Structure 1
Amino acid sequence: MRNVAILLFNEIEVLDFAGPFEVFGVADRKADPKPFQVYTVAERGPVYARNGLSINPSYLLNDHPKPDLLIIPGGGGYQTDGTPFGTRREVDNPAVVNWIRRQAARAELVLSVCTGSLLLAKAGLLDGLSATTHYLALDSLAQLSPTTTVQPADRWVDTGRIITSAGISAGIDMSLYVVGRLLGKDVADETARYMQYDHWV
């Protein structure tokens, strides 16, 4: 069984974390034991996602199981007065950025959804690699990590240990891809069929 840790923070995009949570939660659902144990981690709780959804994280940053897969979702931007929120705020949060750096060093795979890639970039994890993100954040990714090759046309980008996806729903496709990579295409296809999700392959 692999532990799948999903980072939560205020103004997170709901589907960014809920999509991968669902994929890994139901993958090979009849297996015993299940191949993945999925849990959420946050600096503090509760977390208030976009549109006011309240979420209680499973664990806090200083007390959680070791992640085998680390998922960094996205969501965020700027208020009309220029105040950053979501990932745009968290890139300047040393507690979160340093936690990502530490967990990534011991995880088997590190995944980002949407603007979660900005947090990976801030942590120095995308230096010299290819990556993608939400189409509205491509310039921000290039600015945060000038040595990263930004691939705007790709649904997800697999560089080995680090896999980034484009915006929001792309996190579901990336997660199904990772299920296929780890457990085989048949398991990924059955997971998508159970979810009744027409996934990209």
Structure 2
Amino acid sequence: MVDAGAHRAHDDFMDHTTGQKTKNIGILLFDGMEELDAVGPWEVLAAWADQFPEDGWAVQLISRDGEPVRCAKGMVISPMCSIDTAPDLEVLVHPGGDGTLPLMSDQAHLEWLRGQRAKVPLMTSVCTGSLVYAAAGLLEGRPATTWWGALDTLAETDPTIELRTSDRFVDDGDVVTASGVSAGIDMALHLVVRLAGESRAKDVRRYIQYDPQPPV
């Protein structure tokens, strides 16, 4: 079991070194989630938060009830908090995976997302997480992307979406959608650029030694 709580404690406090309240990024966890959709952004964003605490950010792993989730390929991840005990968020990351299919018709989950949309400044998704956003009506009339194998489903879910079929991620201001699985790493680095600048994002990329050179 991956116990993220052991990595970084729940943060909703004043940083006494800067006098600023910690800003939180939440990564949603759910059964059937694609592992790298969450762990990829976590690695980028948690590395940023841990290595550069002066920036004032923390990352939270959140599940609906605060209980561990079993991912698509069997990894079990323990969250830090539930949706009810999570701190106020500046950014929400919604992963994809097989578990998004039931979420697309889960009215309680869709209503929760609409509530988050009303108060979270930046909503982001990885892979088929954008299908759930579409089902909640959050992508109406917007450009967006998803995993290549789900582009047709995204279009069918909301025909008003402007499909970006070849983009690694799509930044539409207060909503950012990433394509499949590993694209979440690129999207997370883009978030660091947006929130802390290009120089900081380069520092994080170097720290995690992310320099893709596929062998095939």
- The TM-score, its normalising length taken from structure 2, stands at 0.84
CA distance in 1, matches of 2:51, 2:149: 39
Which residue is equivalent to 1:169?
A: 182
List gaps (5 residues or longer) in structure 1. 77-85
Structure 1 vs Structure 2: percent identity of aligned residues? 41
CA distance in 1, matches of 2:152, 2:96: 15
Deviation at 1:184, TM superposition (A): 0.7
Deviation at 1:28, TM superposition (A): 5.9
Which residue is equivalent to 1:89?
A: 102
SS in 1 for 2:27: strand
* Counterpart selection for 2:76 from 29, 54, 59: 54
More displaced 10-residue stretch of structure 1: 136-145 or 29-38: 29-38
* Counterpart selection for 1:35 from 32, 36, 56: 56
CA distance in 2, matches of 1:22, 1:107: 22
Cα RMSD for the two superposed structures: 1.6
CA 1:189/1:28 → structure 2, altered by over 3 Å: closer, same or farther?
Answer: farther
Residues 11, 48 of structure 1: 8 Å contact kept: yes
* Counterpart selection for 1:9 from 24, 30, 39: 30
Deviation at 1:61, TM superposition (A): 2.2
Length, aligned pairs only: 191
Residues 49, 59 of structure 2: 8 Å contact kept: no
Residues 12, 74 of structure 1: 8 Å contact kept: yes
- The TM-score, its normalising length taken from structure 1, stands at 0.90
Which residue is equivalent to 2:159?
A: 146
Deviation at 1:34, TM superposition (A): 4.6
SS in 1 for 2:73: helix
Name the aligned partner's letter for residue 21 of structure 1: W
* Counterpart selection for 2:90 from 51, 55, 68: 68
CA distance in 2, matches of 1:52, 1:34: 34
CA distance in 2, matches of 1:74, 1:89: 11
